[in-house]
Structure 1
């Protein structure tokens, strides 16, 4: 079911943008890369940016990065691609483990703190793909609509 992750998009329509955060890969760096890519797209296409859609994309970027840090052994790569009507955020980490949602009953009983990030990503993203990386680890790509 898993596929190899490619880091280059096959084709980019006019107005597509790509941004990469600095090598630190902190959630704030990834959010800045998303903000920059979306802003550049809006300027290039002379269209206003949907602030609610941008907020969703920023939250997804932050959650994917935080999850890679907390559960994936650290972030190894990040890609931000604005293509067509959405933004793709790809975060790679060192773990082969698939993300899981913590059951609500477990969260309520206090057995496990957190557990909200993956359900947030699943709710806000239009498409989510998890791919094995050739050298180990995985890449999670989430596409968030921008309109």
Structure 2
């Protein structure tokens, strides 16, 4: 039997039930989605995570080192308790930006041999944007 759409109370109850799922968005989910579009460069090359080393041989062990690679640039990253230490490969100067959900950006310079230190360790998701040799390389969103 088709629903009785002349019953306003029933119609309102059905609409409330349909919209109830919209209120159940996980905390931080909307901020992550907004931050994905907050910084865009259509000419940026995407660096993929190609290697990840964990501190111990457990699935839940903290990530200790990561290597990202894009066409022509590698980013080697070591994660400490309070910082990100890294090097651009091939070595050379550049600007490294740490992007976090919610729009927080921490920028540092890489020296002539590509070394950089970000004196802020992200708590969860992050990505790097590297400006070097006249181009931009962006890592995928990655979780520490």
TM-score (norm 2): 0.30
Greater relative contact order: 1 or 2 (C-alpha under 8 angstroms, separation 6 or more)? 1
TM-score (norm 1): 0.29
Larger C-alpha radius of gyration, 1 or 2?
A: 2
Structure with bigger helix share is 1
Whose strand fraction is larger, Structure 1's or Structure 2's? Answer: 2
